[in-house]
Structure 1
Amino acid sequence: LRCCDKTDRNSGPGSERGPMNGFSTEEETQSGHNQVCCLLDDSERCTRPAGNASYSKRIQKTVAQRKLKLNIDPSARHIYICDYHKGVIQSVRTKRKRKDSEDDNGSNEQEMDIPEVDLFQLQVNTLRRYKRHYKVPMRPGLNKAELADTLARHFRTIPIAEKEAITFFIYMVKNNKNKLDQKNGADPC
């Protein structure tokens, strides 16, 4: 592990960009466990340990749209945020989805029982395939976040007979009739 000061790290080609390019130097990578969150929360620097989530331009845009009092500390040498702020940012997106669904059908009590499904974790091609399969009407050219939000609203409207679905699942597992067991030739015993 080599110790160096700010002038040593910032000298050379590309130093005008500094660490904000998303890449870290060997020294920063090796001492990554010492990093703290790069965010200013209501103008105070967060002191929690940084996780592996980065404060990308897309996340900055989400934070600005939701009017959160989070900014990147200009003196930070990286763009990694703590798990707490990662959760705060994700929960804002989740709250927005729930609010939209309550406005659509007006039933607040029923919505609380339904677990939130984050379709944003799926690939864009999978979201498009879902859209095509269910023939969900929407304007063309949506980005992934807009596509996921629209499809999440649609997903919550699909009626499911829970008792029948669970009973059928248990029956199929007990009788070894699921497709995965047949494809892999696995013997669950």
Structure 2
Amino acid sequence: MNGFSTGEEDSRGAADQICCLVDESERCSRPAGNASYSKRIQKTVTQRRLKLNLDHMARHIYICDYHKQVIQCARTKQQQQRRRKDSEEDSGETDNDVPEVDLFQLQVGTLRRYKRHYKVSTRPGLNKAQLADTLMKHFKTIPVVEKEALSFFIYTVKTNANKLDQKNGLSSSDTT
């Protein structure tokens, strides 16, 4: 009983091999599967504070498919939380569904025009990277009503209109 199966014989063997775990102080009565309760799994159970313990009376370390699924779900949640935490620390933002915009790709003139349009105050003599960082902070604070923006964009595309033309008093027929 080394935990390996050739596929010809059932590694669980006798019918007394039920799940080796104690779930909330009650021994699990489900049949053991081929997953074993390793040190790594014990660590996950401890970290996630799952109420699972190894029954020391069991002569094997195989767990049932139900507990295998419970532990896998806990591990997946832990990995997602770790990834979310890492990305928050990297970007400084807490909302993961906000697309990242790289203002550094724009020309300095465009960045200055943005700064002037939104009246963003900065100290004089900033280089491109510093200006892009400052404007990025401002850009993230601009509230956007997504439905309105998408509706206006689709309308503009369908009518071949340009918002700048409308501001200058021109209609879409004047621009063609």
Output the TM-score relative to the length of structure 1.
0.40
Higher helix share: 1
Q: Report which structure shows greater RCO (CA 8 Å, sep ≥6).
A: 1
Output the TM-score relative to the length of structure 2.
0.42
**Considering only CA atoms, is the larger Rg found in Structure 1 or Structure 2?**
2
